[in-house]
A = this chain, B = another copy of it.
């Protein structure tokens, strides 16, 4: 009989969101009278419409596809040149970062890219993630056979970097040797962002230890404070050790349109100890993409390009301001009733310490039953998330204000 990939079998089902949905459905069944009062601040999905300039670009591109003269077939694996130009000139140049056109790879999502990039490496490379963590970094490595066994809430072969209240939810560099470090800043789920010196510590570690950093900057557009790097390449030496993942999802509302990109610097040359070859990671990723991927829709890429136009940037900034104001409204409401909160300043996520030492799931139940508000239990993102809770700012202003008023007027007892 055919044998299955045992590493895929290891992967646990996503109990977190399954359990959340189950609990909501149970609550609805038992409390049919308050069903329409439930406000969801749990899932990290956007709700504001796309910038008008993107819609117009996609309509124009669709029209082009209906005429022989302007019809487009297979896109280039690495992305279309107009979009790559916009990324180089409109995203990176203003940050003082020089990216070569050949270093940009457009794809259908940062989830795909962050999940697939590990493929380029041997099964026994050592990976490090923060705890709490975006689950895709871990799960894709479990599927690749790098995780070891699951014991006491953690995988035995993965190095976890504790992000706790003590370190402001910004972990320290590993105290053992690791090969690949996943960093998400501004962070999902904690909403905290790495300062320049905090990020520099990781780049220096990577240079010293011949390691690589997979830097997920999906929430970069939410940064409001001056000392937070918008790109890891702002840190000296980072281009030798870092892949950067970016997305149009949270920046321009593209979760339903699917477009992202990653930067694979040509400076990264791996002296592979097994084959003894010197290998350009950029070329290796190109070959991976050319073999298993066929590029992004022309219509989508034109929509993405439009986000970099002047009008696009104006519209995007308004949308981000809207979500950041939501974050501020929730955060203030929580602070005003005495909660300890993190995030929400450079990020659409507000990370809150549960009151009275409640466990994450206890607080979930409490919020659902007493205030009819759904959030995400922090423990779902890792052990260090226990006793914390994530609210997102992606709901409508109306619902955000309603939820905040309920928090303001509630007496959080035991």
| Residues of A that sit less than 8 Å from B by CB | 1-6, 8-9, 11, 13-14, 45-50, 52, 55, 58-59, 62-63, 65-68, 71-75, 108-109, 111-112, 115-116, 119-125, 136, 139-140, 143, 179-180, 210-212, 253, 255-258, 270-275, 277, 279, 284, 287-288, 290-300, 303, 396
Shortest C-beta distance, A13 to chain B (Å), equals 7
Q: Is the CB of A292 within 8 A of B116?
A: yes
Q: Is the CB of B212 within 8 A of A2?
A: yes
Shortest C-beta distance, A129 to chain B (Å), equals 15
Q: Is the CB of A73 within 8 A of B256?
A: yes
Enumerate chain B residues within 8 angstroms of A112, measured Cβ to Cβ.
Answer: 292-294
Enumerate chain B residues within 8 angstroms of A299, measured Cβ to Cβ.
Answer: 58, 62, 257, 297, 299-300
Q: Is the CB of A6 within 8 A of B257?
A: no
Q: Is the CB of B49 within 8 A of A136?
A: no
Q: Is the CB of A74 within 8 A of B256?
A: yes
Identify which of B2, B9, B275 contacts A210 (C-beta below 8 A): B2
Query: Given the interface contacts A119-B5, A270-B4, does A258 sit within 8 Å of B49 by beta carbon?
Result: no
Q: Is the CB of B71 within 8 A of A140?
A: no
Which residue of chain B has its CB nearest to the CB of A291?
B139
Query: Given the interface contacts A45-B74, A50-B65, does A122 sit within 8 Å of B3 by beta carbon?
Result: yes
Enumerate chain B residues within 8 angstroms of A122, measured Cβ to Cβ.
Answer: 2-6
Q: Is the CB of B74 within 8 A of A121?
A: no
Shortest C-beta distance, A412 to chain B (Å), equals 31
Most B C-beta atoms less than 10 A away, residue of A136, A291, A293? A291
Interface pairs (14), CB distance under 8 Å: A1-B273, A5-B120, A8-B287, A9-B272, A9-B275, A47-B68, A47-B73, A52-B66, A55-B65, A71-B253, A74-B256, A112-B294, A297-B299, A299-B299
Q: Is the CB of A291 within 8 A of B2?
A: no
Shortest C-beta distance, A89 to chain B (Å), equals 24
Q: Is the CB of A284 within 8 A of B8?
A: yes
Enumerate chain B residues within 8 angstroms of A49, measured Cβ to Cβ.
Answer: 65-68, 71
Query: Given the interface contacts A74-B256, A296-B258, does A271 sit within 8 Å of B1 by beta carbon?
Result: yes
Q: Is the CB of A109 within 8 A of B294?
A: yes
Q: Is the CB of A71 within 8 A of B45?
A: no
Q: How far is the CA of A187 from the CA of B296 in the complex (A)?
A: 25
Shortest C-beta distance, A316 to chain B (Å), equals 14
Q: Is the CB of B119 within 8 A of A3?
A: no
Q: Is the CB of B297 within 8 A of A256?
A: yes
Q: How far is the CA of A71 from the CA of B298 in the complex (A)?
A: 21
Most B C-beta atoms less than 10 A away, residue of A4, A59, A111? A4
Q: Is the CB of A270 within 8 A of B2?
A: yes
Enumerate chain B residues within 8 angstroms of A108, measured Cβ to Cβ.
Answer: 108, 258, 293-294
Enumerate chain B residues within 8 angstroms of A179, measured Cβ to Cβ.
Answer: 2-3
Most B C-beta atoms less than 10 A away, residue of A59, A68, A284? A59
Which residue of chain B has its CB nearest to the CB of A272?
B4
Q: Is the CB of B46 within 8 A of A291?
A: no
Shortest C-beta distance, A267 to chain B (Å), equals 15
Most B C-beta atoms less than 10 A away, residue of A14, A109, A253, A277? A109
Enumerate chain B residues within 8 angstroms of A279, measured Cβ to Cβ.
Answer: 4, 9
Which residue of chain B has its CB nearest to the CB of A292?
B115
Q: Is the CB of A65 within 8 A of B257?
A: yes
Shortest C-beta distance, A324 to chain B (Å), equals 18
Enumerate chain B residues within 8 angstroms of A66, measured Cβ to Cβ.
Answer: 49-50, 52, 55
Enumerate chain B residues within 8 angstroms of A119, measured Cβ to Cβ.
Answer: 5, 8, 143
Q: How far is the CA of A143 from the CA of B291 in the complex (A)?
A: 9
Q: Is the CB of B275 within 8 A of A6?
A: yes
